[in-house]
Chain A
Amino acid sequence: QVQLVESGGGVVQPGRSLRLSCAASGFTFSSYDMHWVRQAPGKGLEWVAVISYDGSKKYYADSVKGRFTISRDNSKNTLYLQMNSLRGEDTAVYHCAKNHRTTFNTFDIWGQGTMVTVSS
C-alpha cells in the first residue's frame, strides 16, 4: 500500500544539524512533488518545504529558508530534509507528505512523523 516512513529525528543541541529521511513505497515516487510539514508540541501544522517531482524546484517557509534544504533521490524513493543551525523553535514532529495526484500543494498521504527536539 502507499506508505511514507520518516526517520532521523532525535535530540540535538541548538546550532547543530540533523538530516531527516522519508522512505516512500506503493506509488511512483518520481512522479510526485513532495513536502515536509511540521507540528510543534500542542501547536498547529506548519508547512516547511516542497520539492518538485524531478528535484528542479524547491520552495521554503521563511522560518527555515537558508537553514533547511529539501532534496530527493528518486532512484532510492527517498525524500530528505537537511536541517542546519537548529533552534528551539524547530522542535516539532516532522511529517513528509505526498502531493495529491490531481491538485497541487495538497497533501493526500502523510507519514507518521519523526520527532525533532532542539535542546541543550
Chain B
Amino acid sequence: DIQMTQSPSSLSASIGDRVTLTCRASQSISTYLNWYQQKPGKAPKLLIYAASTLQSGVPSRFSGSGSGTDFTLTISNLQPEDFATYSCQHSYIVPYTFGQGTKLEI
C-alpha cells in the first residue's frame, strides 16, 4: 500500500498569514493527489484535485503543487474559516489512502 505522510501534524498561524502544508507519498503517484478540508463534526470538503486543480467554488487563496512523491497545499491570506484539518489522499491505486491530517489552528 502507498503510505501518505503529512507534515506538520499541527500548525499555528494568524489571520492574513500564508501557510504551506506538505504531503509525501511512499512511492511515486504522478499527480494523483487530492486535498480535503474538514471541520469538526462535518464531512470533508474537496479543495484541490490532481495535485493542482482547484475544485469549483473553492477560493483562489488555496493552491496545490507537486508531482511524484512530494506535494504542497498553500493557503494565502488566511481567513477565519480556514482553520480546520487538512488531509491529502492519493487516487493512484487501490487502496486510496489518506494522510493523517494537519490541524491548522489560530
Chain A residues with CB under 8 Å of chain B are 35, 37, 44-47, 50, 59, 61-62, 95, 100, 103-108, 110-113
In the assembled complex, the Cα of A103 lies from the Cα of B45 at a distance in Å of 15
What 18 new A-B contacts, CB under 8 Å, besides A47-B95, A106-B91, A113-B43? A37-B44, A44-B99, A44-B100, A44-B101, A45-B101, A46-B97, A50-B96, A59-B94, A62-B1, A103-B53, A104-B91, A105-B96, A106-B89, A107-B34, A107-B36, A108-B49, A110-B44, A110-B45
Report yes or no: A95 in contact with B95, Cβ–Cβ below 8 A. no
Q: Given the complex, which residues of B lie within 8 Å of A106, measured CB to CB?
A: 34, 46, 49-50, 89, 91
Report yes or no: B91 in contact with A44, Cβ–Cβ below 8 A. no
B98 contacts A by Cβ under 8 Å: yes
10 residue pairs of the A-B complex, CB under 8 angstroms, read A44-B99, A45-B36, A46-B98, A62-B1, A105-B91, A106-B89, A107-B36, A107-B44, A107-B89, A108-B46
Known: A45-B44, A108-B46, A113-B43. A103 touches B98 (CB 8 A): no
Q: Given the complex, which residues of B lie within 8 Å of A47, measured CB to CB?
A: 89, 95-98
In the assembled complex, the Cα of A100 lies from the Cα of B36 at a distance in Å of 13
In the assembled complex, the Cα of A50 lies from the Cα of B95 at a distance in Å of 10
Q: Given the complex, which residues of B lie within 8 Å of A62, measured CB to CB?
A: 1, 95
Known: A44-B101, A45-B87, A45-B89. A100 touches B46 (CB 8 A): yes
B72 shortest CB reach to chain A, Å: 18
Q: Given the complex, which residues of A lie within 8 Å of B91, measured CB to CB?
A: 103-106
* CB-nearest residue of chain A to B4: A44
Q: Given the complex, which residues of A lie within 8 Å of B97, measured CB to CB?
A: 46-47
Q: Given the complex, which residues of A lie within 8 Å of B99, measured CB to CB?
A: 44
* CB-nearest residue of chain B to A99: B91
Report yes or no: A44 in contact with B50, Cβ–Cβ below 8 A. no
Report yes or no: A112 in contact with B43, Cβ–Cβ below 8 A. yes
